[in-house]
Structure 1
Amino acid sequence: MTRQLPVPRPPLLTRMVALLAAASLAVTAGCAAPPPGTDGTLTDGWAGFGEPTIFVPQAGTCHRDEAASGSGRYYRPVDCDELHLVETVHVGTFTGADAQRTTAPVGNVPARETARVECDARAAEFLGDIWQHGLLDMTVLMPPQAAWSAGARWFRCDLIEISSVFRGTVLPRTGSLRGTLADGGALRLGCHVVRWGDDHLEALEPVDCARPHHGEFVGAFDGGALPSSWPGDEAIQESCLLMIADYADLPVDEDLPYRVATFWFRTGNPSVWEGDLRVRCFLYVPDFTTPLVRSAKGGGPDLFPVW
């Protein structure tokens, strides 16, 4: 009788059987009762991922430094009672065609003008008067392109206090700017010491109206709707002189230019869409005349005789 020997298994098949046996043991082990205090479910205690959020700055916040960018990484607001340079008085939202842009509104684009108009109005509500009537300046900050591409559509209205409306510096302060331009407000523009160089304005220093001075802020008016429609210097000069006559209660006649003089300057750059178009108008009595020691408001011809 012949003896039949078993056919040897290939090594690969042997390894596969071993792996299947190990997998079977693992499955069997998974069916065992979970340890005390557990339910055997791994994921039911995990919180789900929330929807991604887009950074939006907040109004009513103050900041130690002027923002170089609208990026959230530089956003570090502080309490307005702490020393700061900037106060955000309003945060608006682009809508309509402005919101449909694929690029952030940078440069000479109408969307920036739209934002500035809204910032002007909200700042006036906050301050008690338009910011151009005070020792203030305003910046409109936009989201960076990366944030815009991600869906950010906000714009931020920032106010700063300045030492002078002519070549002034930014002043650190404590406390909010709210109400500072209401009647009697501390930052309202008033009387000024005027210093001239060779036929040019050199310095404009705020001073109490009871002290000798030759200049006084009268008001700001709109110099034009668009850069292309700006009136010439002579037209602005005439508008400013008429504003002075109303302010100082002077007759508008041929003697008016011989009672008071004026100087003025724009509050923004009219060559860009977001440029502020208002003109700050100042009454001026020449250095060869007696300086004023009171406000010019309502002074009449007795205060301003013909030179």
Structure 2
Amino acid sequence: MRGRLTAGTMLAALLMNVTLAGCGAALPDGADGQLADDWAPVAEVKAVVPEAGTCLDTRPTPSGSSWDKAVPCISSHYSEIAHVGTFTGDTEPSPAQLAAAYAECDTRSAAYLGRPWWQARLQVHISIPMTRAWEGGARWFRCDLVQVESANWDDTWVARTGSLKGAVPADLLVSCGSAVAKGEFIDSMTEVPCATAHNSEYIGFFRAPLTTPYPKSDRQWTALYRQCSELAAGYVGVSKTQWYKLPTVAWLAYPEAWAAGDRRVRCTVYFGTKKIKKTVKGSKGNGVPYF
């Protein structure tokens, strides 16, 4: 390890050198022999805060930097900042604060897009300052919009061009899908137009309460399916009692994001081996398999 002088020692050495060099010589007019008393005070350093509407050529990460590379939105990019919020307090955000930040991101990104982000092949990722930036006073959180290859997977981010503000392209909207089951789980779901043969349809989204554990037992999964069924009932226009006859699929945030406070759940109706060529929205169950 290389040694170095502290700032105070360096200043003392400089003052001594100046004194020795000027020994026996008169000071110039206007000089008082004090080097530091005329220096302007150094301004307080403030954390740089990201700005909404900025596009970033970076993939989403839990900890962001105000120096993440910004690019024009007409250029290829991965993220677009829909909103920048602020944490309060001196300690790094707790799961409860993160959950509140996610809720704020949901609301503000919908205003930014002109519609809820979860109606499209988009995700909202929250990014907070790195530890050193937090210790330096940064308290912002970023709501980053990211396009994904499929609405049902978390890590298939797609580089895009153009801003999403106020206008989500129609080809990004999520509707029907061709789902392949593997045991009790859906192994894959390819999005297709509702006019083509399909066995699933996206019907809504909710955020589970912060106290909800990542599901492992049948009972925990059933609690999420129940909420999906309630969304499905309103989407199709039938009673909740009727809708429980039809399976639903709950797509959760990946476990790491869930643990960090992201409790997002997408809901899809599933017809199993049956296929239809229309949307079930507002159908009141007419022509829907199992009704």
Partner of 1:151: 137
Match of residue 227 from structure 2: 239
| Residue 177 of structure 1 pairs with residue 167 of structure 2 | no
Deviation at 1:271, TM superposition (A): 8.2
RMSD of aligned residue pairs (Cα, Å): 3.3
- What do residues 68-126 of structure 1 show as CA deviations (whole Å, max 9, x unaligned)? 54234x5220011110011111111122xxx232xx33xx5433223222222211211
Q: Any idea what the Cα deviations from partners look like across 1:250-292, whole Å, max 9, x if unmatched?
A: 35546x455x3321222354985642223211111121x3x22
- In structure 1, the partner of 2:284 is 300
CA contact 2:236–2:284 (8 Å) conserved in 1: yes
The equivalent residue for 2:150 is 164
Aligned counterparts of 1:113 and 1:252: Cα–Cα separation in 2: 28
Find the residue that maps to 2:69 and give its secondary structure: coil
Q: Quick one: distance in 2 between partners of 1:90 and 1:83?
A: 20
1:113-152 correspondence to structure 2 within 5 Å:
113-152=99-138
Structure 1 position 58 matched with structure 2 position 51: yes
Q: Which whole-Å CA distance do the structure 1 matches of 2:265 and 2:83 have between them? A: 23
Deviation at 1:148, TM superposition (A): 1.6
- Structure 2 distance, partners of 1:210, 1:112, is 40
Aligned length: 260
Residue 218 of structure 1 and its aligned partner are, at CA, apart by: 0.6
Asked if residue 70 in structure 1 is aligned to residue 70 in structure 2, the reply is no
Percent of pairs identical after alignment? 31
Deviations 1:138-160 (A, max 9, x none): 22111122222221111111111
- Superposition deviation, residue 48 in structure 1: 7.3
Q: Please give the alpha-carbon distance, in whole angstroms, between the structure 2 residues aligned to 1:271 and 1:55.
A: 26
Q: TM-score, normalised by structure 1?
A: 0.72
Query: Does the CA contact (< 8 Å) of 2:236 and 2:281 recur in 1?
Result: yes
1:9-28 aligned within 5 A: 26-27=25-26
Q: Does residue 85 in structure 1 map to residue 78 in structure 2?
A: yes
- Closer, same or farther: CA 77–190 of 1 in aligned 2, 3 Å: same
Point out where structure 2 has 5 or more consecutive residues left out of the alignment: 1-21, 30-34
Q: Unaligned regions of 5+ residues in structure 1, if any?
A: 1-21, 32-41
Partner of 2:32: none
Would the aligned equivalents of 1:180 and 1:188 in 2 still touch at CA under 8 Å?
no
Give the Å deviation of 1:245. 2.7
